[in-house]
Structure 1
């Protein structure tokens, strides 16, 4: 009896592992699809002006 119980637990662990891997893959694909709609590096850069305020335009020389 103990042997069949062990194999049942092994099957349950295997199913759980496969399910977790599947969920992880779905999350990864979701993040990748959202990333395409993200901002470029130039959009994320902020500058500090002479008064210490954060602005999105580069300083004039």
Structure 2
């Protein structure tokens, strides 16, 4: 399950009206993407490249 876009946790807690005794652990996307792609979104928008090490497959 992919993490949602990087966001300000303080703002997310405020917008979702999270009770003060709770802690935000993760903000996850649930569902199907509008557009399917084999290239990660952060790489497509030029924010971050996966790099060659992430593309290696380890077989045992």
More helix per residue: 1
- Find the structure with the greater CA-based Rg: 1
Greater relative CO, 1 or 2 (CA 8 Å, sep 6+): 2
Higher normalized strand content (fraction of residues): 1
When the two structures are superposed, what TM-score results if normalisation uses the length of structure 1? 0.15
